[in-house]
Amino acid sequence: MAIWNSRFKKSLAESALKFSSSIDLDGRLYNEDIDGSIAHIKMLSKAKVISKDDEKKIVHALEEIRKEISEGKLKLTWDKEDIHTAIEERLTEKIGETGKRLHTARSRNDQIALDEKLYLRKEIDKLIKLISSFQKVLLKKAEEHKLTIVPGYTHLQRAQPILFAHHLLAYIEMLQRDKERFCDLLKRVNKSPLGAAAFAGTSIQIDRNFTAKILKMDSIIENSIDAVSDRDTLIEFIAACSIVMMHLSRLSEELILWSSQEFSFVVFDDEYATGSSLMPQKKNPDFAELIRSKTGRVYGSLIGLLTVMKALPLAYNRDMQEDKFHLFNAIDTTKDCLKIITELFIHTSFNKNRFEEELKGDLSLATDLVDYLVKKDVPFRKAHHIVGKIVEKCVENNIKLHQLELKDYKKFSRKFENDIYNLFDPLISISNKKSAGSTSPIEVEKQIKKWKNIL
């Protein structure tokens, strides 16, 4: 019989209970549920709403229940409506009448809101650690590839040569913002909804700040209606996960591209690649592909929870029970993907010399020719036009920039001298970059140093 059943003549139909039970999801919140209950009980005892003796009995029994669940002795089965019910019923089974005092001045509405926040706090910590581990692996690769030259792209068209380390450092920056987003979110996670009761507060003299303090939260969510109705902290969390996934997906896409025969830049260890059941020569980048696709799961959860919430009147509605499906999906998928991409990166090699020959005199050095003219006082737009014409000639004759003779260069501008041929070495192009944060080895080294300190 359900904990709320006395005003009903019959129990829930089995199918209805099965349909509505959330224990398969919220079962994983048992630790947080018990932590919240213990804090609540301590507060009730301090406020003299229950006796010291009852406090002791209840806390002791709750700790036993925690152990029973963790050891699999207490099974969390669908015949319980949710984790709160399962624990309260077991408590009463164990200590009788005293157990029935646990829910004094509390509702499952403030209880679930609290459980989720406590859980989120732990998971945010784990996510931040996983991101840091991945950043460290990226940083190590960046150090290994301090002088590896690759073509950089815009519009996926060859744009300018860059250091591969510079490219990897861009991902480290992105991931740092991801961590900052989670850290910022903690401010809102660390506010306790407990004591809001169903939504309107309670006539029992409780101390909400005391429970918040025991649970190491910064403060309470003051408005009791908001306390039980808010799910935007969860939505914000899933949004932050979505951005992490978007970053991982972009990197995955690049790995997939680079591993193609056309690029031949990336080789995955056999342990992190798959074959084809039909074409014996294939080596497929499945893990990067799966990260790219699992991004859809997390985005799905973001839209999923936004949709659950979009038309809900205040305060609690049972619809909100579905939040856990999306919350856990986002947590699990993001963590799994962070773990596997870290491993994948450790087990991936990048071909250092792949682009060295190819980029010599490559048209992607055209911007350096423009800068050359600008430094000789040719207005930028004019210089751009001149070099555009040179590129046209090279394309027509199917030659590279260094294969055009000086006398031909001079036909485009008298300012060209023999020293332009120095520019056609991509490493010189890269080293010539002067601006802060650019791809020059000096700037890249600075960034590597900075990240070594931070990470």
**Please, what is the minimum distance in Å from the beta carbon of residue 104 to ligand ARG?**
16
**Please, what is the minimum distance in Å from the beta carbon of residue 97 to ligand ARG?**
24
Phi-psi region of 220 (alpha: psi -120 to 50; beta: other; left: phi over 0): beta
By CB under 6 A, is residue 224 in contact with ligand ARG? no
In whole angstroms, how far apart are CA 286 and each of 2, 137, 331?
47, 20, 22
By CB under 6 A, is residue 326 in contact with ligand ARG? no
Q: What residue has token string 């990048």? A: 350
By CB under 6 A, is residue 118 in contact with ligand ARG? no
**Please, what is the minimum distance in Å from the beta carbon of residue 107 to ligand ARG?**
7
> Which residues in the 336-375 window bind ligand ARG by CB under 6 A?
none
> Which residues in the 4-23 window bind ligand ARG by CB under 6 A?
22
**Please, what is the minimum distance in Å from the beta carbon of residue 123 to ligand ARG?**
17
By CB under 6 A, is residue 318 in contact with ligand ARG? yes
Q: Measured from the CB atom, is 200 or 455 closer to ligand ARG?
A: 200
**Please, what is the minimum distance in Å from the beta carbon of residue 40 to ligand ARG?**
15
Q: Is 276 a catalytic residue?
A: yes
By CB under 6 A, is residue 87 in contact with ligand ARG? no
Nearest alpha-carbon partner for 363 in 396, 397, 399: 399
By CB under 6 A, is residue 109 in contact with ligand ARG? yes
By CB under 6 A, is residue 381 in contact with ligand ARG? no
Q: Measured from the CB atom, is 321 or 439 closer to ligand ARG?
A: 321
From the list 108, 166, 247, 292, which residue makes contact with ligand ARG (rule: CB under 6 A)?
108
Query: CB within 8 A of 240, min separation 6: which ones?
Result: 178, 181, 182, 185
Quick one: which H or E segment has residue 109?
helix 108-144
Quick one: which H or E segment has residue 388?
helix 380-397
- Is 372 within 8 Å of 418 (Cβ atoms)? no
Q: What residue has token string 């199918």? A: 15
Interaction mask 197-216, ligand ARG, x per CB under 6 A: --------------------
CA angle in degrees (0–180, nearest 5) for 311-4-214: 75
From the list 26, 35, 55, 443, which residue makes contact with ligand ARG (rule: CB under 6 A)?
26
**Please, what is the minimum distance in Å from the beta carbon of residue 205 to ligand ARG?**
24
Q: What is the dihedral of CA 159, 165, 171, 176, to 10 degrees?
A: -140
Counted residue by residue, the chain has a size of 455
By CB under 6 A, is residue 230 in contact with ligand ARG? no
By CB under 6 A, is residue 112 in contact with ligand ARG? yes
In whole angstroms, give the CA distance from residue 424 to residue 418.
12
**Please, what is the minimum distance in Å from the beta carbon of residue 87 to ligand ARG?**
12
Query: CB within 8 A of 402, min separation 6: which ones?
Result: 360, 361, 421, 424
By CB under 6 A, is residue 233 in contact with ligand ARG? no
In whole angstroms, give the CA distance from residue 255 to residue 288.
7
Q: Measured from the CB atom, is 315 or 386 closer to ligand ARG?
A: 315
From the list 192, 224, 233, 321, which residue makes contact with ligand ARG (rule: CB under 6 A)?
321
Nearest alpha-carbon partner for 165 in 444, 435, 451, 401: 444
In whole angstroms, give the CA distance from residue 449 to residue 454.
9
Q: Measured from the CB atom, is 81 or 371 closer to ligand ARG?
A: 81
Q: Which of 70, 219, 260, 276 is catalytic?
A: 276
For ligand ARG, the binding residues (CB under 6 A) are 22, 26, 82, 108-109, 112, 316, 318, 320-321
Q: State the catalytic residues.
A: 155, 276
